[in-house]
Amino acid sequence: MTTPIDDRSFTAAQDFLLGMKSWWTRDLYPTLQEDFDRRAAKAGSEPTTVDDVDALIGDTVLYRTYSWLERHLQRFKYSGRYGLQPFHDQDRERLVDGLATEGLPEGALDLADDFDVPKYFRVVDIHQHPGGVWSDEIAGYVYERGARSTTPLAGKRHKDLHDRLTDRVEAGGVPRRLLDMGCGFGKSTGPFIERFRDADIVGVDIAAPCLKLAARDAAAAQARHARYVQADCTKTDFEDESFDLVTSTMLLHEMPPPEIEKTFREAHRLLEPGGRMVHVDFYDLPDPFRRYIHYGHARRNNEPYMEPWAEMDAVELLEETGFTNIEILPFEESDGTLAADYPYWRFPWTLIMAERA
Ligand SMILES: C[S@@+](CC[C@H](N)C(=O)[O-])C[C@H]1O[C@@H](n2cnc3c(N)ncnc32)[C@H](O)[C@@H]1O
């Protein structure tokens, strides 16, 4: 029998992993960047492709150490002796009881019978989450706890990102009917729910364990203007022109290109004329070093669709789908992160915005 994991040991182990990840972010990454710059200067020709970057640093002990830590710190975080999965697993019964849907207000949660999770999502444990965010009843809890340290410098302030997105959305006008695609356990929908009290807000996701958590939290916050629906965002049952705003946060990079195309088409169908679409995702990669680092991250973190998405011509696709006023901009997820001399590792956060003509 495995010895139970007590709270103190779990917290200490997770704090240690987060400390290592912060060191990786603040020290190892800048050292790697310096090493790359030095090697590029010595080579005498400007690297322009990820292959050029690979030729310069791919075989170095520094890059290999950086890569090993990136993969395995995440693996330990989820599956190690003190990982999120075994820790939550030992408390399964109580956690599942906490997701009982009987007490929810009518319409707060709409789960499909026999929902068909798309194959592209079933075949890989995205971000090394064992079984993904959809297959285990307690996956929502595991994902929620894991998301607190997704961006190591932000720590508990990771919420910053979603609040900033809400500010950005509000600057374009207060929505009346908002759809948050790929809402997960409601972290991206929550700030919209808090800020836009007069709007009808719907979060959709394919992962029932996450939706249950989202609906429970919305009910606890007395948010009667919000509801969560299990649906594939490429083919929902909502009527044409049901929304004036469609959003997503960190959804697109989890889908293969044909699904992204369908998602944009579905958003176009669901928006009323003049309606807006605002996505935040990883897309803006202005130089080959950052592209190389991002594509490596994708491989090491089990994110097979990240690279194909970053290679897509989003402007062309959005134009073809019938959108206008297309804007693709780097997104400042925390103060100062877009400064040219910002030294630390970060995701290539990007705003993808467009309007239905
Ligand atoms: C990285 S999570 C982001 C969750 C949330 N938006 C946030 O910011 O915390 C991506 C979410 O997209 C969902 N997802 C992936 N493919 C989807 C699809 N075809 N339809 C709806 N949701 C999908 C996943 O289940 C997951 O919850």
Three-class secondary structure assignment of 276-308: EEEEEEECCCCCHHHHHHHHHHHHHCCCCCHHH
Does the C-beta of 281 come closer than 6 Å to ligand 1?
Answer: no
pTM of the model: 0.96
Ligand 1 neighbour 205 (Cβ under 6 A) = yes
Cα 234 to Cα 211: distance, rounded to the nearest angstrom: 17
74 vs 80: CA distance, rounded Å: 9
Number of other CB atoms surrounding residue 253 within 10 Å: 21
**For the residues of 206-229, what is the DSSP string, one character each?**
S-HHHHHHHHHHHHHTT-TTEEEE
Strand order in the sheet with 200-205: 109-110, 226-230, 200-205, 177-181, 243-249, 271-282, 349-356, 323-330
Please give the structure tokens belonging to residue 317: 């696709």
Q: What is the pLDDT of residue 157?
A: 44
Count of positions (residues) in the chain:
357
- Ligand 1 atom index nearest CA of 133: 25
- Going by alpha carbons, the residue nearest to atom 19 of ligand 1 is 232
pLDDT in tens, 93-127: 999 999 999 889 999 999 999 999 999 999 999 99
Tokens standing for 199?
């709007």
Q: How far apart are CA 175 and CA 167, in angstroms?
A: 12
The tokens describing 208, both together, are: 């029932």
Distance in angstroms (rounded) separating the CA atoms of residues 353 and 328:
6
Q: How far is the CA of 206 from the centre of ligand 1 (A)?
A: 7
DSSP state of 70: H
* Ligand 1 atom nearest residue 232's Cα: 20
Q: What is the pLDDT of residues 283-292, one digit of tens each?
A: 999 999 999 9
Looking at ligand 1, which residue's alpha carbon is closest to its atom 7?
A: 188
Does the beta carbon of 252 sit less than 6 angstroms from any atom of ligand 1? Answer: no
| 335 neighbors 251 (Cβ within 8 angstroms) | no
pLDDT digits (tens), the chain, 357 positions: 678 999 999 999 999 999 999 999 999 999 999 999 999 999 988 999 999 999 999 999 999 999 999 999 999 999 989 999 999 999 999 999 999 998 899 999 999 999 999 999 999 999 999 999 999 999 999 999 998 876 655 544 455 899 999 999 999 999 999 999 999 999 999 999 999 999 999 999 999 999 999 999 999 999 999 999 999 999 999 999 999 999 999 999 999 999 999 999 999 999 999 999 999 999 999 999 999 999 999 999 999 999 999 999 999 999 999 999 999 999 999 999 999 999 999 999 999 999 999
In short, whether 139's Cβ falls inside 6 Å of ligand 1 is no
Task: Output the pLDDT for position 119.
Answer: 97
Topology of domain 144-356 in CATH is Rossmann fold (3.40.50)
- H-helix or E-strand containing 190? helix 189-195
Please work out whether the CB of residue 166 comes within 6 Å of at least one atom of ligand 1.
no
| Ligand 1 atom nearest residue 255's Cα | 16
The kind and range of the H/E element at 167 are: helix 159-171
* pLDDT at residue 129, rounded to an integer: 96
Two structure tokens written together for 303:
């994110």
What's the pLDDT score for residue 150? 67
Q: Is 234 in the pocket of ligand 1 (CB under 6 A)?
A: yes
At residue 154, the pLDDT reads 54
Say if ligand 1 is within 6 A of residue 182 CB: yes
- Domain locations in the chain? 144-356
Buried b (16+ CB within 10 A) or exposed e, 51-90: ebbbebbeeeeebeebbebbbebbbbbbebebbbbbbbee
Residue 225 CA to ligand 1 center (angstroms) comes to: 21
